[in-house]
Amino acid sequence: MVIEDLQFVRQMEQWGARVLADQPLRRYTSLGVGGSAGIIRISRPDALEPVVAGLRERGVPWGVLGGGTNVLASDEPFHMVFLQLVPGPGDVMFESKGDGNQVTISTAASLGRTVMECAKRNLGGMEGLVGVPGSVGGALRMNAGAYGTQIGPLVRLVKVFRGATGTIEELPADSIGFHYRKSSFAPDDIMLTVTLELLTKPFREILAEVKLLNQRRRNSQPIKEKSAGCIFKNPPGLSTGKLIDELGMKGMRVGGAVISE
């Protein structure tokens, strides 16, 4: 275990941070690979400041883990801890101010569930993201996108814990860069909540589109397998899938990893 100070471990528990020692990362990643690491499950965002300060004081390196659907972790043990925000029942909060099209979401929430929660309020525009696995926090970091929709353009405000200073800041959208599968957040920023601006759209229209997109995804990806899905990026102007196909790599196997047919 990388945290030897048991008093600090107990303190963290009191702040709302559950410390899990020596966790196999393969249980936390969708690819099912990864050696052991410490996991700290944060259920109260105000725990972040003392937890991160305490880790820094003790020289314990830390990182952030969302749903683990964009992580290819080494099988070697990690001498560090991963902070993971815990989802809760009140993660999707609808705003009554303005035209009512803004929604503030805790970054621990599942992205797919968020799309459906918004749909129930007749708020659409993010249907394309419904099948992207993982959390809203991971989607912000990666500027997740699918079927012509990316999360970046929907963002109005992000509340972020800055690992460098231990402070919480609210960043307006125009101060954040969203690019193809990457964003301008600092490596030690932890996004806490995001406010999105959505479109008024009838639930049944959103549902019809969601069903269509889910079907398209099922047709193009082995979604029941431990698949790399759309983790891989396309090189500029090219499709990775097409390149793999043209190189005759479909079906190629290395150990337990295989390129699907």
Ligand X SMILES: Cc1cc2nc3c(=O)[nH]c(=O)nc-3n(C[C@H](O)[C@H](O)[C@H](O)COP(=O)(O)OP(=O)(O)OC[C@H]3O[C@@H](n4cnc5c(N)ncnc54)[C@H](O)[C@@H]3O)c2cc1C
Q: Indicate the residue among 12 and 65 with the shorter CB distance to ligand X.
A: 65
Residues 6+ away with beta carbon under 8 Å from 30: 67, 68, 69, 71, 133, 134, 226, 227, 229
Least distance to ligand X from the beta carbon of 251, Å?
19
79 and 2 in contact (C-beta within 8 Å)? Answer: yes
Range list of H helices, the chain: 6-15, 48-57, 111-120, 136-142, 203-220, 240-246
Q: Indicate the residue among 124 and 131 with the shorter CB distance to ligand X.
A: 131
Q: What angle do CA 69, 170, 46 make, to 5 degrees?
A: 70
Q: What angle do CA 135, 214, 31 make, to 5 degrees?
A: 50
Which position among 162, 181, 204, 216 bears the catalytic label?
A: 181
Q: What angle do CA 94, 97, 103 make, to 5 degrees?
A: 25
First to last CA, the chain: 41
> Active-site residue 230, yes or no?
yes
Site for ligand X, rule CB under 6 A: 30, 63-71, 85, 107, 132-135, 137-139, 141-142, 144-146, 181, 189-191, 221, 227, 229-231
For residue 194, how many other CB atoms are within 10 A of its CB?
Answer: 27
Q: Indicate the residue among 104 and 122 with the shorter CB distance to ligand X.
A: 104
Least distance to ligand X from the beta carbon of 178, Å?
12
> Active-site residue 181, yes or no?
yes
Least distance to ligand X from the beta carbon of 28, Å?
8
Least distance to ligand X from the beta carbon of 156, Å?
17
Least distance to ligand X from the beta carbon of 109, Å?
10
Q: Which two tokens stand for residue 199?
A: 């479109």
Q: Indicate the residue among 34 and 138 with the shorter CB distance to ligand X.
A: 138
CA distance 142 to 66: 11
Q: Indicate the residue among 50 and 100 with the shorter CB distance to ligand X.
A: 50
Q: What angle do CA 80, 135, 109 make, to 5 degrees?
A: 115
Known catalytic residues?
A: 181, 230
